[in-house]
Amino acid sequence: MSENQQRKYFGTDGVRGRVGETPITAEFMLKLGWAAGRVLAREGRGKVLIGKDTRISGYMFESALQAGLSSAGVDIRLLGPMPTPAIAYLTRTLHAQAGIVISASHNPYHDNGIKFFSAQGEKLPDEVELAIEAELDKPMHTVDSSLLGKAERVSDAAGRYIEFCKSTIPSSMDLRGLKLVVDCAHGATYHTAPYVFEELGADVIKLGVQPNGLNINEGCGSTHPQVLQAAVLEHQADLGIALDGDGDRVIMVDHKGDVVDGDELLFIIARSRHEMGALNGAVVGTQMSNLGLEHALRTLRVELKRAAVGDRYVMDMLRQGGWTIGGESSGHIICLDRTTTGDGVVSALQVLAAIMKSGRSLHELKSDMSKYPQCLVNVRTERKFDFAASSEVRDALREVESQLADKGRVLLRASGTEPLIRVMIEGSDARQVESLAHHLAGAVRQAYEKQRAAQ
């Protein structure tokens, strides 16, 4: 039985779903807090940190988790709204047994989720997650009143994280003379990210810093960079920085208003490390990483290794290879030589460090990587569809690969989070790429309809 088959609640990135629908309910969170507390209490009294993003449901789940942990005899430290990477950092530096993040990242406000960090600020080991799941199946009971966990609020959490972010670039570097627009997506970085850049000397124009519990990621942040693009041009800024709701992703905009995505940011950071002699081996991307990234790194004699889509798989490959730099096109970039998880603010600072060191603009630095035209088409399915078993899909795939020859690539995969088959084609000719993507997607759709009609 595979690891995922054994799991009832934990996915590849914790527990996530729509608020009010199992398991994203107050009742489940109470039991989850208790179950986690039971497992962690085996390690000794210790303490567990709880942080959240700015979704309105965070209040409810914070209280439920706190009650559950307390009933299991575990002490709690409440961080309030804090970026996911900040919770990982504080779990390490406050010597907690674990950190709990209440967030659904870049999703809308009506979703939420729970993610755990270990005492090392990394994903919980699989055996601990499985032990928590085992406790969830047991009846809940409360320890003696003399053993109940106590809760305290960490009043200086934001300040600690701001100082940590600043420490990830040379202390001699300052950003005086730079005008930046920073979009915090009305999310967890609203009271930290702008101050990191301001304290380093930059002139900062703030966007997305008025969370109301309902507007997180709404038409702003890394998933909707159009507002940032317009603001950079309006204010004649040097560049813009867009974070997502929990602060682990970053997308940037150059002074011309052009988006600089995760692949391009990854290249800029990797090349800067390479020039300093500090790039340890390969760079890790995913199956979705642009072919242009692979070719640009090749000119530096640096290899791009491709993991499965998802930051968890990027992290796994980095750990296995002993490498330090990796990321996704979405802007989830991991710099293991600076921190233990993906961090949008830290990643942005590494790009700014490359700009200051080279004396070149963001636009100039990204121009050294030529992206290949890429077309992604999603085919929605109502149920699981084994496209690889379809002769029609295999024939269409062979035809597309034949036409692309060695000037492009095809990725055909099922989404891990939605009932979709994703068709991605990349090549040197934009019109051909789009045509072939829709052709292959049509073959997938036709095969799916044929299978459904036969059932």
Residue 192: partners with Cβ closer than 8 Å, 6 or more residues away: 82, 83, 86, 158, 161, 162, 165, 247, 345
Is residue 105 flagged as an active site residue?
yes
Tokens representing residue 431 in the block:
């019109």
Return phi, psi of residue 11, to 5°: -100, -155
How far from 303 is each of 209, 300, 314, 382, 400, CA to CA, in Å?
A: 39, 9, 15, 39, 26
DSSP secondary structure of 154-186: -TTHHHHHHHHHHTTS-TT---TT-EEEEE-TT
Name the pairing type of β-strands 420-427 and 374-380. antiparallel
Residue 85: partners with Cβ closer than 8 Å, 6 or more residues away: 247, 248, 339, 341, 342, 343, 344, 345, 346
- Which one of 57, 105, 118, 289 is the catalytic residue? 105
Sheet containing 179-183: give its strands across.
Answer: 203-207, 179-183, 239-243, 250-254, 259-260
* 280 in Cβ contact with 255 (< 8 Å): no
**Residues taking part in catalysis:** 105
